[in-house]
């Protein structure tokens, strides 16, 4: 039985693309049933359309508060039959409404080796600090920022001074690690999630 997956993204959607393709190839025992985006005009919307994935694009300013737009998202997730959520460059902090319904079933990818370099500027922060080992973490979302249970990590050494090269290599790692971690996570789920 293929698991039904929703992917949330805010930008170009390269991790979205990696996850969808992994599902299409059968590397992940899942089917992407919805893409949620908070940025009209984001490249990920076009990627979703190219793969025939239904989209829900919202503007947070159109809702009175976070709980309101998260209730709308939960309704969309339930209508699509989504069992799992993968955050793939989704730049909003997940709130209690979404966590209350999907807690323990929301994965995120972070471009650093957590617990180091949390937050939205992880690559820049790690590069500025001068680390020589960079990496990527897939973790469960909880009510902290980048603090949930780690599902998988992958690291690489880099001794150069080209920040763009570090980012390129991080994306390369993300596109391999996230599908693998998602499949491993799915294997560990009970049948009736």
Question: Catalytic residues, which ones?
Answer: 110
H-helix or E-strand spanning residue 151:
strand 150-157
What is the distance between the alpha carbons of residues 111 and 137, in angstroms, rounded to a whole number?
7
The annotation status of 92 as a binding-site residue, yes or no, is yes
Q: For residue 121, what is the DSSP state?
A: T
The annotation status of 91 as a binding-site residue, yes or no, is yes
The annotation status of 170 as a binding-site residue, yes or no, is no
Structure-block tokens of residue 20: 């969808």
The residue whose two tokens read 């300013």 is 61
The annotation status of 66 as a binding-site residue, yes or no, is yes
What is the distance between the alpha carbons of residues 81 and 42, in angstroms, rounded to a whole number?
24
The annotation status of 93 as a binding-site residue, yes or no, is yes
The annotation status of 29 as a binding-site residue, yes or no, is no
Structure-block tokens of residue 48: 């979703």
Query: Which residues fall in the annotated binding site?
Result: 13-15, 66, 91-94, 108
Annotated binding site for (6R)-10-formyltetrahydrofolate: 66, 91-94, 108
């Amino acid at each position: 039985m293929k698991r039904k997956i929703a992917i949330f993204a805010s930008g170009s959607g390269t991790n979205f693309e990696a996850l969808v393709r992994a599902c299409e190839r059968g590397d992940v025992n899942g089917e992407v049933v919805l893409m949620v985006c908070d940025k009209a005009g984001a490249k990920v919307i076009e990627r979703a359309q190219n793969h025939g994935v239904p989209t829900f694009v919202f503007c947070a300013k159109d809702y009175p508060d976070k709980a309101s737009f998260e209730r709308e998202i939960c309704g969309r997730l339930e209508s699509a039959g989504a069992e799992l959520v993968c955050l793939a460059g989704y730049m909003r902090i997940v709130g209690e409404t979404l966590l209350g319904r999907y807690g323990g079933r929301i994965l995120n990818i972070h471009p650093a080796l957590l617990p180091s370099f949390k937050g939205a500027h992880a690559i820049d922060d790690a590069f500025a600090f001068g680390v020589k080992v960079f990496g990527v973490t897939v973790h469960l979302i909880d009510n902290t920022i980048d603090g949930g249970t780690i599902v998988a990590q992958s690291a690489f050494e880099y001794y150069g001074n080209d920040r763009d090269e570090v980012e390129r290599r991080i994306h390369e790692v993300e596109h391999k690690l996230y599908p693998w971690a998602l499949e491993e996570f799915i294997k560990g789920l009970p049948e009736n999630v």
